[in-house]
Structure 1
Amino acid sequence: MKQRISYGVPRANGPRIAAIGGGHGLSTMLRGLKQYTENISAIVTVADDGGGSGMLRQDLGMLPPGDIRNCMEALANTEPLMSELMHYRFPEGVLAGQSFGNLFLAALNGISGSFDEAVSRMSEVLAITGRVLPVTTADVQLVAEFENGASVTGESKIFYCKKRENCRIRRVRLSPENPKALPAALAAIREADMIVLGPGSLYTSIIPNLLVEGIVEAIQDSDALKIYVCNVMTQEGETEGYTVSDHISALFHHSCRNLFDICLCNSSPIPKGVAAKYAQEGASPLYADAGPCAALGVEVISRPIATVDNGFVRHDPGHLARELILLHAERSVRIAGEHFKPHSYRAERER
């Protein structure tokens, strides 16, 4: 999306959005949202311990940079060369597979007083729209407990342990438990006109944020419109066989009932060939069981927000962002900025 679609509302006066999650799902959504508002606060999990992030975490004792870097790249307003540089991965040697963006953040971390300061300084370099905030600066590990009593420590190990144990995850927790939230993250939630959870991996990208002290309470206390963006497909090694209500139940189990009011799901059809490929891995399109969701106090809204990219089903950043902005305009009782006019959005769904 090289050109911003205008809906009659200047981006500077767009709604204040707190987007909570991690992984590629969150960064995908941010790419779309920045076309509509400059007032974005991405609150990102720091429980990752795999890949290049895990290597830097182990070698340098820093918090994992990967999810945060992805979000900053999504919100960046830089020259094409800088964007290409941030995405570059070393092809060989001791740095094989490592992202330059990760190393750049690691270097800033080395010369900064704290990890969140390093993130802020990198945000300035990339001239990002909005803010990217680690949910906590505590050094935490993710622990998963399974229904058969087995457990495993380390976000990157959960997939393999679940496949081995062949049963559902009962709960996840952080170690150490109840780390303090970054004050700026709590402030962003309190000031938001709309709070969005997801999209992303249920147990490893979204729920870890809810286990940080103060986050759930801040969401509960907010008058903002609260929306959960559900995944398009179930996820191998994490949510095989889950319905939408299973996702909502897991989120409430790890936080509180009525944490959010709306669940936004995909209504775009998945091509049969693509669905068959996913089925070979035990994944399938997520079934929106509206009845059980309503029993949980959540309204399910289905919109065409998915696309197929190189054989993979993904959220379409433009379509997802548009539907979120429309929902805010239609449902929110708060107004984001003096010049924000909900009626200016309403006709867009008919176009």
Structure 2
Amino acid sequence: MKILDWIKLSFNTKKWIIIGGIGLICLIIGITPISYELVLLINNPIIYIILLLLGGLLVILSFKKGFNSVLKLLQSSDGNLNVDSVNRVLYKKKVLEKGPKIVAIGGGTGLSVLLRGLKEYTSNITAIVTVADDGGGSGVLREDLGMLPPGDIRNCILALADTEPVMEKVLQHRFKEGKLKGQNFGNLFIAAMNEIYGNFERAIKEISNVLAVTGRVLPMTLEDVKLYAKLKNGEIIEGESKIPIKNKELGSEIDEVFINPKESYPLKEAIDAINEADGIVLGPGSLYTSVIPNLLVKDLSYHIWKSDAVKIYVSNVMTQPGETDNYDVLDHVKALLKHGKIDIVDYVIVNNEEIPESVLKKYHEDGAQSVIISDNQEKELNKMNIKVIKEDLIDIKKNYVRHDAHKVSKIITDLIIKKKIEKDNKNSREN
């Protein structure tokens, strides 16, 4: 079904609901003492009959037409009832709304891939997304309009949206010619909403409502932050987009990253979500430019540590040139804890599946390699009270290696549910 047809049917369904409401009002007036006052006033008893007939007719008509409209919304392209659509709606209402409360923290492609998997297990998702991006179309809008960069936010909204493929294609469309060349339509849409509402947070909420987003997408802060990297050779690189590029040129490792202004505060909704969460997930995604920047926002790490939630880090499958060259799993975790300044990881999920040589060759040419874990690393992590979960987790599409979002999401939700059961059993024994 085309998106315009879907919108038309949606409005048609609402129209019949309104008509049914008018019919009910007519029926109520027709069978209550109000109708007798009307009869005496007009001195024509037929009004009583007209109201009852009109009300009954409108209710029956609205029920019939409205029900048909709902069925059309759920029909497949061949005109048959799409049972999968019906089951999906019922499943979301009855099961997903009772799913665990999960906070996913990060940015970039990694977080959006994970969110597509998580929404199949729960609708109680809060994504806290980095807004330190200053490159590409997002960087242009940030500089020209003085707004927060919308790119990572857009990807996460679309990952959680319950919308048709056509709409997603429109919002992901990147212009190839003219003055808008290189700009993304979805970014422009967010920019327009930001201008209409005069508030980035409100704009994201309204867009999420329009696209029927599962859960919430929140920026890590509303401050206009800039990301810096201090290298081990003492050099400092300014700007998220320049960090991997300049670092490769300088040939040094990243010692730490920091943001300016340092006094950047998280949203209250983000803190509330962390405090109420059953599970908190860090990554996957670019370690220094997508995941860690969130931990630099004031007190965010503290609230993660304080939360009773299961804290999980999803390790990257491949290293990132200019950021995590030669990093293994332990290096990733140590960098995370160094910037978080508190023990904020209970579990680390690691890929244990071999990547085909034909795919690895392309990555090796770019300077990337597999992120591996050895027995010694695992022992070291266990000493840090971090449990390691190793599974076959890769999904290869068009020679690009990604996490299998459904496998990772199942592991995450299973861990969270297991802890909830253990906690409930403990509480029942104590009581």
CA distance in 2, matches of 1:109, 1:134: 13
Match for residue 80 of structure 1? Answer: 165
- Does structure 2 retain, via aligned residues, the 8 Å contact 1:193–1:334? no
Match for residue 130 of structure 1? Answer: 215
CA distance in 1, matches of 2:387, 2:341: 16
Asked if 1:68 corresponds to 2:153, the answer is yes
The answer to which of 39-48 and 80-89 deviates more is 80-89
CA distance in 2, matches of 1:49, 1:126: 26
- Does structure 2 retain, via aligned residues, the 8 Å contact 1:244–1:293? no
Within a 5 Å distance, the mapping from 1:315-330 to structure 2 comes to 315-330=403-418
Match for residue 259 of structure 1? Answer: 344
Cα deviation 1:244-268 (Å, max 9, x = unaligned) = 1111110111012421110001122
**34 and 330 in structure 1: CA distance in 2 versus 1, 3 angstrom threshold:** same
Cα deviation 1:129-159 (Å, max 9, x = unaligned) = 0000001000000000000000111000001
Cα deviation 1:301-324 (Å, max 9, x = unaligned) = 111221111111101121211121
Match for residue 231 of structure 2? Answer: 146
Match for residue 338 of structure 1? Answer: none
Q: Which has the higher contact order (CA 8 A, sep 6+)?
A: 1
- Does structure 2 retain, via aligned residues, the 8 Å contact 1:258–1:297? no
Asked if 1:156 corresponds to 2:238, the answer is no
Query: Which SS does the other structure have where 2:109 is aligned?
Result: helix
Within a 5 Å distance, the mapping from 1:1-351 to structure 2 comes to 10-288=95-373, 289-332=377-420, 333=422
The answer for unaligned runs of 5 or more in structure 2 is 1-83, 425-431
Cα deviation 1:29-63 (Å, max 9, x = unaligned) = 00011011110000001000011100100110000
Structure with bigger helix share is 2
* Superposed CA RMSD: 1.9
CA distance in 2, matches of 1:79, 1:279: 37
Task: Please tell me the residue identity of whatever aligns with 1:117.
Answer: R
Match for residue 44 of structure 2? Answer: none
The answer to which of 287-296 and 69-78 deviates more is 287-296
Identity rate, percent: 49
CA distance in 2, matches of 1:224, 1:198: 16
**58 and 334 in structure 1: CA distance in 2 versus 1, 3 angstrom threshold:** farther
CA distance in 2, matches of 1:294, 1:92: 53
Task: Please tell me the residue identity of whatever aligns with 1:57.
Answer: R
- Does structure 2 retain, via aligned residues, the 8 Å contact 1:33–1:321? yes
CA drift of 1:98 comes to: 1.1
Cα deviation 1:54-85 (Å, max 9, x = unaligned) = 01001100000000000000001123332221
**TM-score (normalised: structure 2):** 0.75
- Does structure 2 retain, via aligned residues, the 8 Å contact 1:32–1:317? yes
**TM-score (normalised: structure 1):** 0.91
CA distance in 2, matches of 1:38, 1:68: 18
Give the greater-gyration-radius structure (CA).
2
- Does structure 1 retain, via aligned residues, the 8 Å contact 2:100–2:417? no
CA distance in 1, matches of 2:383, 2:362: 33
CA distance in 2, matches of 1:129, 1:287: 33
Match for residue 54 of structure 2? Answer: none
The answer for unaligned runs of 5 or more in structure 1 is 336-351
- Does structure 2 retain, via aligned residues, the 8 Å contact 1:19–1:197? yes
CA distance in 2, matches of 1:254, 1:13: 34
CA distance in 2, matches of 1:167, 1:293: 26
Cα deviation 1:167-218 (Å, max 9, x = unaligned) = 1100000011130111111111111100000110000000000000121111
CA drift of 1:113 comes to: 3.4
Task: Please tell me the residue identity of whatever aligns with 2:188.
Answer: L
CA distance in 2, matches of 1:245, 1:298: 11
CA drift of 1:334 comes to: 5.2
Task: Please tell me the residue identity of whatever aligns with 1:297.
Answer: N
CA distance in 2, matches of 1:178, 1:293: 32
CA drift of 1:162 comes to: 0.9
For this pair of structures, how many residues does the alignment match?
334
CA distance in 2, matches of 1:245, 1:331: 24
- Does structure 1 retain, via aligned residues, the 8 Å contact 2:223–2:265? yes
